[in-house]
Structure 1
Amino acid sequence: MAKSTLIEMHNVGIVVESLDNAVAFFTEIGLVLEGRMMVEGEWAGHVTGLGNQSVEVAMMVTPDGHSRLELSQFFAPPIIADHRNNPVNSLGYLRVMFRVDHLDELLIRLEKFGAKVVDEVVQFGETYRLCYIRGVEGLLIGLAEQLGSETATDILENK
């Protein structure tokens, strides 16, 4: 039997209360709606362990086509936990970070969705200006504007 190899990271999933609001917010950041559909029944529950489920899913893709964000709104079974407003050092889902251009302009546009910078925009060496925001539904989102050609990976590898 051949050994399995990793091909790519396909997507990160986030459960939201309002799929419409989340799609609008992530569209404003620059992701593109790839598709939207209902996923229902026992077969889906065998994947998730939730049994008979009803969930609407929207797949958002980055402009380069390499990364996806799967947004899910569950109708059944009911939501049993809410971790959206936990601090960054909580176990489990931490945040999703996007590299953007014109960070300050984007932050102004995201204000109409209720987004707020967690503390402040900071500069990481000569590489990035970055911040965490609480976006739609309080989700923690990282935004980073690259300043030079050196990446964070370059900095970490040279330490």
Structure 2
Amino acid sequence: MKVHRIDHVGVIVQDLPAAKDFFIELGLEVLGEAEVEGEWVERIIGLTDVKETVVMLGMPDGEATLELVKFHTPSDENGMQPSFSNTLGIRHIAFAVQDIESIVAKLKKKGAELVGEIQNYENAYKLCYIRGPEGIILELAEKIN
């Protein structure tokens, strides 16, 4: 028995177009889009009356995949809940980037906001958290020569 790699990370969103545009602006590429429903998916995820739209996004190097999912039914009765960097559960997705300042400026024009600020970590990395649509937190990491 062996685990090969992480296949993808799934993010459930309400505003699929905004989330998709945000990740495209970051540099990901659309690999595919599909409407998903039926007993087969209901049996996998343990919900009934499932109707969802799925967008698969990939990194330009092909190494990682991100799945954005918009559930049309059933809906989340609680809606979006505010979260903080220390809220329990999966909290952020980290991306290795080049030119962190330019990326942050570009994403801020799309409505993203820095959670804290860009910091130099031991002259090895520039790091920051940035919050995008749906409250999604990204960690951006730029390796310093």
Q: CA deviation at 1:51?
A: 1.6
Is 1:76–2:59 an aligned residue pair? no
- CA 1:83–1:127 in 2, change beyond 3 Å: closer, same or farther? farther
Is 1:54–2:51 an aligned residue pair? yes
The gaps in structure 2 that reach 5 residues or longer are none
Q: CA deviation at 1:98?
A: 0.5
Q: Any idea what SS the aligned residue of 2:127 has?
A: strand
Which structure's CA Rg is the greater one? 1
Distance, in Å, in 2 between the alignment partners of 1:58 and 1:69 is 8
Identity rate of aligned residues, in percent? 35
- CA 1:22–1:126 in 2, change beyond 3 Å: closer, same or farther? same
Counterpart residue number, 1:23: 20
Q: 1:88 aligns with which of 71, 85, 88?
A: 85
Note the aligned Cα RMSD (angstroms). 1.3
Is 1:10–2:7 an aligned residue pair? yes
Q: Any idea what SS the aligned residue of 2:77 has?
A: coil
- CA 1:20–1:68 in 2, change beyond 3 Å: closer, same or farther? same
The gaps in structure 1 that reach 5 residues or longer are 149-159
- How many pairs does the alignment contain? 145
Counterpart residue number, 1:153: none
Runs of 4+ in 1 over 2 A off after TM superposition: 80-85
Q: CA deviation at 1:137?
A: 2.0
TM-score, normalised with respect to structure 2: 0.94
Decide whether the 8 Å contact of 2:80 with 2:134 is kept in 1: no
